[in-house]
Amino acid sequence: MSSNETPRGPVDSSRIPRYAGPATFARLPRLDEVGTADVAVVGVPFDSGVSYRPGARFGGNAIREASRLLRPYNPAQDASPFALAQVADGGDIAVNPFNINEAVETVEAAADELLGTGARLMTLGGDHTIALPLLRSVAKKHGPVALLHFDAHLDTWDTYFGAEYTHGTPFRRAVEEGILDTEALSHVGTRGPLYGKQDLTDDEKMGFGIVTSADIYRRGADEVADQLRQRIGDRPLYISIDIDCLDPAHAPGTGTPEAGGMTSRELLEILRGLAGCNLVSADVVEVAPAYDHAEITSVAASHTAYELTTIMSRQIAAARKDAEAK
Ligand SMILES: N=C(N)NCCCC(=O)O
Ligand SMILES: [Zn+2]
Ligand SMILES: [Zn+2]
């Protein structure tokens, strides 16, 4: 059962300074303070799957710290996400940093448990490896899901050094496992050098469409969002956001930066244009704070998670209203 309690919402920043106390996402209550939530925000401190700079294990907490400045009303979506639904911070999923297979299993089991309570998941931090167990868990509940994958990279490569579970391979594994709805898969923000042209051929065979970073620049966020929304329809949707979808100027704190990316404004606008989609869970990954400056990356990531949470809360509230009317 998801939460029927009145949403608790964030700590009042006019009474308790927003920089005081331990950080939860957006200063929301902890999950153990409210029992159950409609949206559970969880961190995954894991970066053993990276191919270049490490550090995304610290991403979740950096995003929480940067999220202290978020405010309760989201004018861009005309909604107060934390009043429409119970959103709470479920803390971190503690995973084994020395055994990737075990870490993947732990994330899946923890996600099963949270989704089993009726919550949707807003996952923060970690490297992109964790999208695979999160998608497995979501697909157990909803069947194969539509996927919007915001990233500079395809992440549909096969193996690295023989390893199947890495941050460059989660979506190939997910396609192989049949947990994605291959009618509605898109990469958004793709750019940068590849290993060969075959990378694109393989990716297309798996069913992915690509909206490159240059497409977004040329066509604009609204048109791109419209196109994506049409492709998704009312399918259950998972959004996975690798913060390196942003240009390094907008997100320097990440492990595999690529020049020529979208701005944080473009990303936020595309997400706002996806309001109304049946967003069942989402992640924001690859925030590596050691390479960040002045919290540029974690601020962008916190606003990204805020827009995603707003989409979920609005939908939860609308579904509740529909159910009451019946
Ligand atoms: N940042 C993510 N998720 N993947 C990048 C993999 C790029 C590479 O090692 O070639
Ligand atoms: Zn990436
Ligand atoms: Zn990625």
What ipTM, to 2 d.p.? Answer: 0.98
Check if 286 has its Cβ closer than 6 Å to any atom of ligand 1: yes
Q: Would you say the C-alpha torsion 204, 152, 219, 235 has a positive or negative sign?
A: positive
Nearest CA to ligand 1 atom 7: 168
Tell me which ligand sits closest to the C-alpha of residue 55. 1
Is the per-residue pLDDT at 116 higher than 80?
yes
When pLDDT is cut at 50, 70 and 90, the band that residue 280 belongs to is very high
User: Which 3 state secondary structure label does DSSP give 208?
Assistant: strand
Q: Would you say the C-alpha torsion 93, 120, 244, 28 has a positive or negative sign?
A: negative
Q: What is the per-residue pLDDT across 118-133, written as a single tens digit (0 to 9) for each?
A: 999 999 999 999 999 9
Residues with Cβ < 8 Å from 232, sequence gap 6 or more?
146, 148, 184, 274, 277
Exposed / middle / buried, residue 229 (Cβ in 10 Å: 0-12, 13-18, 19+)? middle
The 10 Å Cβ neighbour count of residue 290 is 12
What is the Cα–Cα distance from 112 to 247, expressed in whole angstroms? 33
When pLDDT is cut at 50, 70 and 90, the band that residue 315 belongs to is very high
Check if 167 has its Cβ closer than 6 Å to any atom of ligand 1: yes
Nearest CA to ligand 1 atom 1: 256
Check if 106 has its Cβ closer than 6 Å to any atom of ligand 1: no
189-210 as b/e: b if 16+ CB within 10 A: bbbbeeeeeebeebbeebebeb
Known binding residues for Mn(2+) = 128, 151, 153, 155, 242, 244
Q: What is the per-residue pLDDT across 52-97, written as a single tens digit (0 to 9) for each?
A: 999 999 999 999 999 999 999 999 999 999 999 999 999 999 999 9
